């Protein structure tokens, strides 16, 4: 390689200028990736963030987009705007395809880029546990696009229910099965019940809403397994008060788009199977197979370094740090990603100063889930509570965590309007969804 070719490759890759500073490349603009880039604001490094979207998604509120409570742009925020005043920051819109650790190069849809430190913060995607039919016919909800698809499908199926004269088909169109009893499944099931109770009967007075069913299906013996028993019971009670059928010990075996087959032989006819039963890490090809676990997460040490590599890190949902307290890795939630980001940022700076790294220690500040209007469960600082107080705390925290003042205001106004009027104004089929296009 000539000196001219060397300079071009290492200075102009992705049109990012060469600086006399170490380059930290972050893959993924989720909670962890954003927090890491912010934490390196004043560090003597060049920060490059690459993401396949040019916006950050506030994933905890995706279910409200899917159920017409919020518009998509109220939970998404442009990455470039977040960092417009950070001088050492560069953003590139593209998808990373492969890592070459031998040459410290990553290959993306927009070209190659060298790095001194690489941090993978790609998050997670839906885990169908190898069931191809369910992957083909069920509805996931991990991205803005998927949430909008689900919103369109819900409304389209009610439009179709008006047209059919087949009773079983109409009931299937009006039956919603949410698989997975974690926070996402619980919150989505609660929101669908509120649509049934307050909104959809006004839009479709010709339909008999006694035929509409919302089911929360969980393979285990309880919902919200990460919470205390008192809040598990409380959340189940809230759901049943809203009219949700909670099926425990019910493991889905197959789904063909018309009927759900359970392992115990049970059948459920529905055109709406929403899969919230698990996630797997969005790992990138190129590293040794032993560095990735069976759930697609990178195995990392106590410093968030990927096993077998020194300057390669993974944080958040795509990282698996095995400890005595967390033998299966830390919870795949935003606080873990944010705290890991701060540890990695601090350790990069400490290495540049010749200091030893600090170990990551997760500080669990609690968890929460909302079930619907005036109903939520909260666990924080060894205090467990629910009802209106829990719901108010849930709303306040989510408003604080939203990125961008505009988004906070829009979400607050939408929530206030929905609370006063029992209404959701964003019942729009802007882009019809067709299963065979996915």
pLDDT (tens digit per residue) in 402-433? 998 889 999 999 899 888 887 777 888 988 88
pLDDT band at 5 (very low <50, low <70, confident <90, very high): very low
pLDDT band at 436 (very low <50, low <70, confident <90, very high): low
> For residue 417, what is the DSSP state?
H
Instruction: Give every CB contact of residue 344 below 8 A, 6+ residues apart in sequence.
Output: 36, 119, 303, 304, 313, 315
Question: Alpha-carbon distance 245 to 261, whole Å?
Answer: 17
Q: What is the mean pLDDT of residues 274-278?
A: 94
> How much is the pLDDT for 15?
87
> How much is the pLDDT for 18?
84
Opening angle at CA 392, ends 401 and 148, nearest 5? 55
Question: Alpha-carbon distance 81 to 202, whole Å?
Answer: 40
pLDDT band at 437 (very low <50, low <70, confident <90, very high): very low
pLDDT digits (tens, 9 = 90+) for 300-315: 999 999 999 989 999 9
pLDDT band at 203 (very low <50, low <70, confident <90, very high): very high
**Helix or strand (DSSP H, E) at 320:** strand 319-320
Residue 11 has pLDDT above 60, yes or no: no
> For residue 72, what is the DSSP state?
G
**Poorest-confidence range of 162-176, 243-257, 411-425?**
411-425
Which residue do the tokens 């819900």 mark? 154
Percent over 70 (pLDDT), the chain? 96
The CATH number of the structural domain formed by 132-277+373-437 is 3.50.50.100
**187 assigned to active site:** yes
Distances (CA, A) of 241 to 234, 237, 371: 11, 6, 10
> How much is the pLDDT for 428?
87
- Which residues in the chain are classed under CATH 3.50.50.100? 132-277+373-437
> How much is the pLDDT for 7?
38
Instruction: Give every CB contact of residue 308 below 8 A, 6+ residues apart in sequence.
Output: 287, 288, 290, 291
- Which residues in the chain are classed under CATH 3.50.50.60? 3-52+94-126+280-352
pLDDT digits (tens, 9 = 90+) for 17-59: 888 999 999 999 999 999 999 999 999 999 999 999 999 999 9
Which listed residue (71, 171, 187, 218) is catalytic? 187
Residue range 3-52+94-126+280-352 in CATH 3.30.56.10? no
> Is 214 in contact with 223 (CB distance < 8 Å)?
no
Distances (CA, A) of 143 to 72, 150, 250, 306, 332: 10, 11, 26, 26, 16
> Is 318 in contact with 30 (CB distance < 8 Å)?
no
Instruction: Give every CB contact of residue 406 below 8 A, 6+ residues apart in sequence.
Output: none
Q: What is the mean pLDDT of residues 158-175?
A: 96
Residue 2 has pLDDT above 50, yes or no: no
């Amino acid at each position: 390689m000539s000196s001219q070719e060397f300079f071009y490759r290492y200075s102009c890759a992705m049109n990012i200028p060469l600086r006399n500073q170490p380059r930290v490349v972050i893959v993924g603009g989720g909670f962890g990736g954003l927090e890491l880039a912010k934490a390196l604001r004043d560090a003597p490094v060049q920060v490059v963030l690459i993401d396949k979207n040019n916006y950050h998604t506030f994933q905890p509120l995706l279910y409200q987009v899917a159920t017409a409570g919020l518009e998509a742009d109220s939970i998404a925020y442009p990455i470039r705007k977040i960092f417009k005043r950070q001088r050492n920051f560069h953003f590139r819109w593209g998808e990373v395809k492969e890592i070459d650790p031998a040459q410290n190069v990553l290959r993306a849809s927009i070209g190659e880029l060298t790095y001194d430190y690489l941090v993978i913060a790609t998050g997670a995607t839906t885990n169908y546990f190898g069931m191809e039919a369910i992957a083909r016919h069920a509805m996931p909800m991990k991205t803005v696009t998927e949430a909008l698809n689900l919103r369109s499908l819900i409304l389209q199926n009610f439009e179709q229910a008006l047209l059919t004269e087949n009773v079983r088909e109409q009931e299937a169109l009006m039956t919603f099965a949410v698989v997975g009893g974690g926070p996402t499944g619980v919150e989505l099931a609660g929101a669908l019940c509120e649509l049934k109770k307050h909104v959809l009967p006004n839009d479709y007075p010709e339909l008999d809403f006694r035929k509409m069913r919302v089911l929360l299906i969980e393979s285990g013996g309880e919902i919200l397994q990460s919470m205390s028993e008192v809040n598990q019971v409380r959340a189940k009670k809230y759901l049943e008060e809203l009219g949700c059928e909670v099926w425990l010990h019910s493991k889905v075996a197959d789904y063909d788009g018309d009927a759900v087959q359970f392992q115990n032989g049970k059948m459920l006819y529905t055109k709406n199977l929403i899969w919230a039963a698990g996630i797997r890490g969005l790992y990138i090809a190129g590293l040794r197979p032993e560095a990735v676990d069976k759930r697609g997460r990178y195995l990392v040490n106590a410093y968030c370094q990927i096993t077998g590599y020194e300057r390669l890190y993974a944080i958040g949902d795509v990282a698996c740090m095995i400890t005595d307290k967390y033998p299966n890795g830390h919870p795949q939630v935003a606080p873990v990603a944010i705290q890991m980001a701060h540890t990695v940022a601090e350790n990069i700076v400490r290495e540049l100063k010749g200091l030893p790294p600090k170990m990551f220690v997760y500080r669990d500040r609690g968890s929460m889930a909302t079930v619907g209007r005036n109903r939520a469960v909260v666990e924080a600082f060894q205090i467990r509570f629910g009802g209106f107080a829990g719901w108010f705390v849930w709303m306040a925290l989510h408003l604080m965590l939203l990125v961008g003042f505009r988004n906070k205001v829009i979400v607050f106004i939408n929530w206030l309007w929905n609370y006063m009027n029992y209404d959701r104004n964003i019942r729009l089929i802007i882009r019809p969804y067709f299963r065979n296009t996915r």
